[in-house]
Structure 1
Amino acid sequence: MTSAAGDGVSRKTACVTGGSGYIASALVKMLLEKGYAVKTTVRNPDDKEKNAHLEALKALGPLEVFRADLDNEGSFDDAVAGCDYAFLVAAPVALMPENPEEEVIQPAIRGTLNVMRSCVKAGTVKRVILTSSTAAVSSRPLEGDGHVLDEESWSDVEYLREKKIGTWAYPASKVLAEKAAVAFAEENNISLVTLCPVVVVGGAPATKVKTSVPELLSLLSGDDDMVDKLELIEAASGSIPLVHIDDVCGAEIFVAEAEAPAGRYIVCTLNTTAIELANFLHAKYPQYELNIDHIGALPAKPRVSIWSDKLVKEGFQYKYNNLDQVYDDIVPYGRTLGILPY
């Protein structure tokens, strides 16, 4: 496939949906660095401030930005046309919606299938890589301690719909979108791989981040609202499972290119807790006065561990394997974003 830049170099071409987002921006960057021609989508290409990082990434290689909306069938046709791989990263995120079914669950299913229909029309896509979440794995009733969850585990949608606790619609949407994608792929003979990352942290090209980065820095920043969200992660997951964004993007490309991968893969490096994080951060960053009042009643050790052995057995190697490596990267990023003052 000849690159869109017209430089005559033969390149693989990838589409990444949701290029203005946190994970997608890092994936676009890594693909360009690996020599891909990249086509990405945003809802509003005219928003220069929100898309400034994409303009900057064009210096790395051939990158085209397309207008597309998950709710509009056919709007991804141009972005997917001619691509070897399609990375479905964009997803609706409304954690506390007034109407969860209409605002989160149905749009997630509809948006996933809309992009996959564009992949069928393209006729060139060798593999679709759906970025889901371990929210589709771990949101289920788990009493006691010592649970280990892998790719065979699914969040319980009936339980979530019945109890309606907290941000229940998000994990429900991830399960239902993933299952809809699997069914569609089987019907249309599409090679589909699903990645289920845990809590993703680390620096990325995107400069407006509403994800887990502020939460994982909250014990240092003193942001009580973000500490509350850190608590919610642990309450919902039974631990605070972490993975660096570079490892997520590396896994995305690995499962796209490798012969064997199929089905779903958890992407996780560490299972920790707020107490363990507080102890680690207190020792590593003594210049900060840690905000630990909220977390004293939480368990010291994870009740639930998320395993990603399946991905490792396929031959994938993680680069960020401990908290030191993760925070050496996320703290400078937090300063860049203005989350941390120093």
Structure 2
Amino acid sequence: MSEGGRKKTACVTGRNGYIASVLIKMLLQKGYAVKTTVRNPGTCRLQALGPLQVLRADLDDEGSFDDAVAGWDYAFLVAAPVNLHSKNPEKELIEPAVRGTLNVMRSCAKAGTVKRVVLTSLAAAVSGRPLQGSGHVLDEESWSDVEYLTANKSGPWGYPVSKVLSEKETMSWFPNAKLAGDEAAFGVLRGIEMATGCVPLVHVADLCRAEMFVAEEDAAAGSCSDEVLQKPRVSLSSAKLVSEGFEFKYQTLGEIYDDVVEHGKALGILPS
């Protein structure tokens, strides 16, 4: 992948994250030169795949992303504070998320070369709201109800609030899940299903392909998979993303589950 004889370049924040590692691998395989950030840099096995620089940056350190995005084409914002069981979500989750997002955006603006910033969202950014009945279709025009979430403070409410506020701050600039016996993680999934009647899923490869798609396509903006359980009260629409030319490679839950199991075996967290 090149423009005028030179490689396209991309910065991916949060190298240690699951999504970031898959995205970095895809970008390198597509011929990108990549910079990625982490709080404590070290060697990275992905460097064997292509030109990858690992830099130190911290969401809390103003200006620490300057070198990571300087002269680069695209910035993929994947890094975010995650603590679903925080006792003080405002101080430990929400404020750092918004502050960190603005920190990266300021670095992108300072660089003057970044063509597009791709911010990774999640279903909770649109589905955290009081919902009656069924048949709700949520898309990029939908937002979780921050006032409702902060008033009720039920479940991991701080995370969706942090995503909503971070995304809105980003828009103002431009008009690791474990599934091997982790009861706390399963509890979060059960809470999502009880609230919405579904557990929205998308294959991580399709997610990363979509991130690259919206970075590269001039008209692109949006999204998440509409793969849901049988009778959901809520579904997430990918219509805008699909209408712009993106195609999901993984269409069934079986395909997603198969890859999750194989990856779990490779990591040693599931029996072979």
Q: 2:26 aligns with which of 15, 20, 30?
A: 30
Instruction: Please state if 1:267 is matched with 2:224.
Output: yes
Does 2:215 align with 1:252?
Answer: no
Q: Distance in 1 between matches of 2:37 and 2:244?
A: 30
Match of 1:44 among 32, 40, 44: 40
Query: CA separation in 1, counterparts of 2:54 and 2:122?
Result: 25
Structure 1 229/136 Cα, relative in aligned 2: closer, same or farther at 3 Å?
A: closer
Alpha-carbon distance between aligned partners in 2 of 1:107 and 1:260, rounded to the nearest angstrom: 31
Cα drift, residue 28 of structure 1: 0.4
Deviation at 1:340, TM superposition (A): 1.9
Unaligned runs of 5+ in 2: none
1:236 is displaced (CA, Å) by 3.7
Given that residues 154 and 175 in structure 1 are in contact (C-alpha distance below 8 angstroms), is that contact kept between their aligned partners in structure 2?
yes
Look up the equivalent residue of 2:215 and give its one-letter code. Answer: A
Equivalent of 1:169, from 158, 173, 180?
158
Q: State the match for 1:238 in structure 2.
A: 197
Q: Distance in 2 between matches of 1:168 and 1:268?
A: 22
2:88 corresponds to = 99
State the TM-score, normalized to the length of structure 1.
0.75
Q: TM-score, normalised by structure 2?
A: 0.94
Match of 2:104 in 1: 115
The counterpart of 1:63, out of the listed 46, 52, 63, is 52
The structure number with the bigger radius of gyration is: 1
Q: Are the equivalent residues in 2 in contact too, given 1:134–1:266 (CA < 8 A)?
A: no
Alignment of 1:76-225 (within 5 A): 76-186=65-175, 210-211=176-177, 213-214=178-179, 224-225=183-184
Give the % identical residues: 63
Show CA shifts across 1:247-271 (max 9, x none): 0110001000101124xx2211411
> Using a 3 Å threshold, how does the CA distance of structure 1 residues 162 and 239 change in structure 2: closer, same or farther?
same
Offset, 1:224: 4.2
Aligned residues: 270
Give 1:303's aligned residue: 233
The amino acid across from 2:216 in the alignment is: E
Could you tell me which amino acid in structure 1 is paired with residue 200 of structure 2? P
